[in-house]
């Protein structure tokens, strides 16, 4: 028995990173998966099928309600309903900075994908989930929804805080519809989204110094959290934020054990 046996799941941002890993893992755990991305994520679907599961590749933009509704409908026609939504699609634009140098275009695009996209997917999915007796929605926020950064990405951070607030409201609104809504808050994960900020060793070390575990996370580690939230293992859990961040949000300073004197990863003196 898989942890998602008999479930039908929609995964957005399914073409790479945490999304493609989720398509494969959800399918391997018994779900039939609708994999949605701007370009139909055929590679992720092929991996899901190779893992012994069922999946459907769909092209669509999460900021377009018609496209999102069409994806939900394709899943309903192909598989019979919808039980799980994994709202993973998101952007982190390199032009994102602080309040004075983030452009209106960068702000608007970030909010459009990261906030509006989550809302539209929930809007399209919830009626189908209610008709089917409930389900689980997992919204990808971020550890930065819980703390600030002196290397600012103001639009991104603000958008993820909005996802967290939206998650709580949806959770209490739809609890008695049998729908659970939780947020997954990853720390820094080695995906293409993060790689754009690690172009040189100094930038990499500036981030590593704040991670007590001394390394970046892996996409598969985050998807394990999503799988937990999607499954009945979290059946009495809604409106919550599951933080998987290597200890970042728990830390004031980070350990210096095992680091050489002057190592770039050494924590700063408080």
Asked if 86 and 10 touch (Cβ cutoff 8 Å), the reply is: yes
Inter-helix orientation angle 17-28/219-230, to 10°: 50
Is 156 among the residues known to form the active site? yes
Tell me how far apart the alpha carbons of residues 199 and 157 are, in angstroms, rounded to a whole number: 21
Q: Which of 86, 156, 197, 252 is catalytic?
A: 156
Query: Annotated catalytic sites, by residue?
Result: 156
């Amino acid at each position: 028995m898989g942890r998602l046996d008999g479930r039908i799941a929609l995964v957005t941002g399914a073409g790479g990173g945490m999304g493609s890993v989720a398509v494969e893992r959800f399918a391997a755990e018994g779900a039939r998966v609708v994999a949605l991305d701007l370009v139909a994520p055929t590679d992720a679907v092929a991996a899901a099928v190779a893992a012994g599961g069922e999946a459907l590749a769909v092209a669509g933009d999460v900021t377009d309600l018609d496209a999102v509704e069409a994806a939900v409908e394709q899943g309903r026609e192909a598989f019979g309903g919808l039980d799980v939504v994994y709202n993973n699609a998101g952007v982190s634009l390199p032009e994102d900075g602080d309040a004075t140098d983030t452009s209106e275009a960068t702000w608007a695009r970030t909010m459009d994908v990261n906030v509006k996209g989550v809302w539209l997917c929930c809007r399209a999915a919830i009626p189908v989930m209610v008709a089917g007796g409930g389900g689980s929605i997992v919204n990808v926020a971020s550890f930065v929804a819980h703390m600030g950064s002196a290397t600012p990405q103001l639009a991104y951070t603000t958008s993820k805080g909005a996802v967290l607030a939206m998650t709580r409201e949806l959770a209490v609104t739809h609890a008695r519809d049998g729908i659970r809504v939780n947020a997954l808050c990853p720390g820094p994960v080695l995906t293409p989204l993060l790689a754009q900020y690690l172009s040189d060793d100094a930038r990499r070390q500036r981030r590593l110094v704040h991670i007590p575990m001394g390394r970046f996370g892996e996409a598969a580690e985050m998807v394990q959290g999503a799988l937990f939230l999607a499954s009945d293992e979290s059946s009495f859990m809604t409106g919550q934020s599951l933080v998987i961040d290597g200890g970042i949000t728990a830390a004031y300073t980070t350990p210096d054990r095992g680091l050489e004197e002057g190592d770039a990863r050494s924590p700063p003196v408080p």
